[in-house]
Chain A
Amino acid sequence: MTRQTAENRSEAGEVEESAFDVPADSEPIVCPYCSMPLSTERQRSLHIGLDHYHESTDREQEAFREAYAEEEKELSRFRIVALGGLVALYFGFLLVYALLAV
């Protein structure tokens, strides 16, 4: 196998071939700054905002802020589920221990 050297460093803007694997039949959205292939518009907005904020245009910065805020909503929903999971785990184990490990 070919020796794949350093990881791609998105901060530095270098993208290595071996770091990505784009199937022939897919049409990736490509970052205009580092040509990193991305799956969705939102991923692209976020990627540009995170890695190329200073070089990006006002429109891209605006898109980044929107995508970030939208993401925040999704994260809040996830946090509620995660909290529920934690509570269920905790009390589940508490109950099982109370019943079994007297």
Chain B
Amino acid sequence: MRLKGDPAKDRSSISESGGHILRRSAAVAVAVAIVAAILAFAAPAAGHAAGLRDAGPSGVEVPTWLFLTTGGGAVGASFLLASFVTDRAFIRSIHAWGTEVPAPGRLARWAVRTIGVGLLAVTIYVGFVGPTTGYRNFAILFVWVVWWGGYVASTYLIGNTWPTLNPFRTVAELLPTLDVNYPERLGSWPSVVGLLAIIWIEVVSPLADDPRALATAIAVYGAITVGGAVTFGTSVWFRNADPISRAFACFGRVAPIERTDSGISIRLPGTALSEGGLVESRADAAFVIALLYVTTFDGFVATWLWRDLATWLVGAGLPPLFVYFSVYLLGYGAFLTVFQWAIGRARSDADTFRSRAALLRRFAPSFLAIAAGYHIAHNLVVLIGLAPSVIAVGAAPLSPPQQPPVLASVPGWLTGVELAFVLVGHFLAVWVAHAIAYELFPARMDAIRSQYGITLVMVAYTVISLWIVTTPIVEPPFLAGESLS
């Protein structure tokens, strides 16, 4: 099940189903010649979903390296701009701005819960008995377009409603709990392992195309989740072990609306990231880094660089799945190392006695804004392009049209909107890290210096991510015959 903002998967798998539709309907259209001419120039066309790619080097004849450098430069410039804001009271007032409204009543919550459980039941049922073609199956469209593309966006654009909507939680709460003591020393490490496992399965198996596999995966995930929640208690399980709930809790911190104990608090987007509480342990920080990493990995496996590297490694006699798996883990190790380095830099540059662990806990959440920006960039065009399919297939899930309708061409300015979200995500991240530094360090110059390493990592992450989203998609090699499912 895809959990993280993943460039290429959205194009290479969900959009593979969507892409097929689009390509097919485009073939019918006479205008295909013109489109093809543009796309042939722009980039090989998995097409519609590659919104950013069209905005990238290919569309405007900017060399790739320059496009990437510009992205990195923009992040660097936003750090310099933020460093001009040195008024603590002003920074604090921005982050404290907000209001609180009462929480919705019990009835509304139960209505939402019922909808959640109903949708889950329909999804699994249609996944098992509906058409086997991905783009005609409601389960595939619902999970990848509506849930992954749309709903996930709502968790960081509006607020995290998953604790209420989560059907697995609703079911678990209806069951008696065994209240087994959760092993304290595990902390939230199970969620880190779970996230890495889910994305691993999603990358190497046909979950985005095969309704049966998807329904099975949801059922297995559901059994583990409900089982865990019943055993250890719902709040413990969804706080520590369930990767999806953790991911949404993280994304929810970017959102302007947050459910608190006393009601619903409304703030400026992203400002809640500067507060402690979200990341409380090393494992929580590792989770945030994993969330960023899986996005990158999921996109990376669909680039030519990976194809060449994997082909070479497999040619040297290594089993393909081993190659995937070891690079997957090595990459995560590299991300952890780079973050550790940035935190070490921040520690020495700011001349502080605050521990690395404490700094990591505070600074890690700022990166979530970037992750949210990329998630939109990867999904907005898919979501809009396939929305007619969702409606047509959703209207008759068991006998959907042979060729569900798609938007043959989405307006070009949407690409601009996507790019804008990437930029806003970066600005937010830089600003949040800036605000955190001002909260942690008594000397303002120390606060600025602490950002050198972190900014450098953000610049690097931008360049890598922009490269991945703008690089033509290739089918990840060796997976067709090697699928786990």
Which chain A residues have a beta carbon within 8 Å of chain B's beta carbons?
1, 3-9, 18-22, 26, 28, 37-40, 42-44, 46-47, 50-51, 67, 71, 74-75, 78-79, 82, 85-86, 89-90, 93, 96-97, 100-101
Within 8 Å CB of A100, what residues of B? 62-63, 66
Give chain A nearest CB distance to B440 CB in angstroms: 8
Q: How many residues of B contact A (CB 8 A)?
A: 42
Q: Report yes or no: A101 in contact with B442, Cβ–Cβ below 8 A.
A: no
Cα(A20)–Cα(B184), bound, Å: 22
* Secondary structure dominating the interface of B: helix
B351 (CB) vs chain A CBs: closest residue? A39
CB-based contact A40/B357 at 8 Å: no
Binding site for A on B (CB under 8 A): 60-63, 66, 69-70, 73, 76-77, 80-81, 83-84, 86, 88, 184-185, 187, 276-277, 280-283, 351-358, 361-362, 441-446, 448
User: When the two chains form their complex, are residues B353 and A37 in contact, meaning their CB atoms are under 8 A apart?
Assistant: yes
Across the interface, name the chain A residue whose C-beta is closest to B81.
Answer: A86
Given contacts A21-B358, A74-B445, A93-B73, 15 further A-B contacts (CB under 8 A): A3-B187, A9-B276, A21-B356, A37-B353, A38-B352, A42-B443, A46-B442, A46-B443, A75-B444, A79-B83, A79-B84, A86-B80, A89-B73, A100-B63, A101-B60
Closest to B356 in A: A21
User: Which single residue of chain A is at the shortest CB-CB distance from B361?
Assistant: A7
Chain A residues within an 8 Å CB radius of B81: 86
Contact across chains for A43 and B446 when beta carbons are under 8 A apart: yes
**Contacting residues, chain A, for B444 (C-beta < 8 A):** 71, 75
User: How distant is A73 from chain B, measured CB to nearest CB, in Å?
Assistant: 10
**Contacts A39-B353, A79-B84 given; does A8 touch B443 at CB 8 Å:** no
| Cβ contact of B276, chosen from A6, A50, A71, cutoff 8 A | A6
Given A19-B354, A38-B353, A78 contacting B83 (CB threshold 8 A)? yes
Instruction: Give the Cβ gap from B311 to chain A, nearest Cβ, in Å.
Output: 32
- How many angstroms between the C-alpha atoms of A39 and B441 in the bound complex? 11
Chain A's closest residue to B446 (CB) is A43
5 pairs across A/B with beta carbons < 8 Å? Answer: A3-B187, A75-B445, A78-B445, A82-B84, A90-B77
**A78-B448 contact given A1-B185, A4-B357, CB 8 Å threshold:** yes
Looking at B69, B81, B444, the one whose CB has the most chain A CB atoms below 10 A away is B444
| In contact, A6 and B280 (Cβ under 8 angstroms) | yes
Please, which residues of chain A bring their CB within 8 A of the CB of B83? 78-79, 82
